[in-house]
């Protein structure tokens, strides 16, 4: 248990920030999962809409310091690569 007033404040701040971080990280992860599910279901129009949301949520999380900017960039890159691959397959077949 914390003894000093400053340590007690840090505990309160950490708890508040953990909730904030969890919200934004969860939102981004859910959006990414929705994109992947839409691509797996070969529903490219839904995937395109969800991809825009996912990119937005990832950028927001990175901007707020919840995840590192390179982490967000890597996830967006992989999603775009997956989406473009699925789009190319659907046009050729």
> Per-residue b/e over 7-45, b at no fewer than 16 CB within 10 Å?
eeeeeeeeeeeeeeeeebeebbbebbebbbebbeeeebe
CATH code: domain 5-92 is 1.20.58.110
Query: Tens of pLDDT along 61-81?
Result: 999 999 999 999 999 999 999
For residues 27 and 57, is the Cβ–Cβ distance under 8 A?
yes
Please name which of 57, 61, 51 lies closest in space to residue 87, comparing C-alpha atoms.
Answer: 51
pLDDT of the residue at 93: 63
Q: What is the pTM of this model?
A: 0.86
**How does DSSP assign the chain, residue by residue?**
---SHHHHHHHHHHHHHHHHHHHHHHHHHHHHHHHHHHHHTT-HHHHHHHHHHHHHHHHHHHHTTSS-HHHHHHHHHHHHHHHHHHHHHHHH-
| pLDDT higher than threshold 80 for residue 92 | no
Domain boundaries, the chain: 5-92
């Amino acid at each position: 248990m914390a003894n000093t007033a400053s340590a007690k404040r840090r505990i309160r701040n950490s708890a508040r920030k953990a909730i904030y971080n969890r919200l934004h990280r969860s939102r981004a992860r859910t959006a990414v999962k929705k994109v992947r599910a839409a691509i797996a279901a070969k529903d490219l129009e839904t995937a395109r809409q969800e991809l825009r949301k996912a990119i937005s949520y990832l950028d927001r999380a990175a901007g707020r310091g919840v995840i590192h900017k390179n982490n967000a960039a890597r996830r967006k890159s992989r999603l775009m690569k997956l989406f473009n691959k699925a789009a190319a397959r659907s046009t050729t077949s």
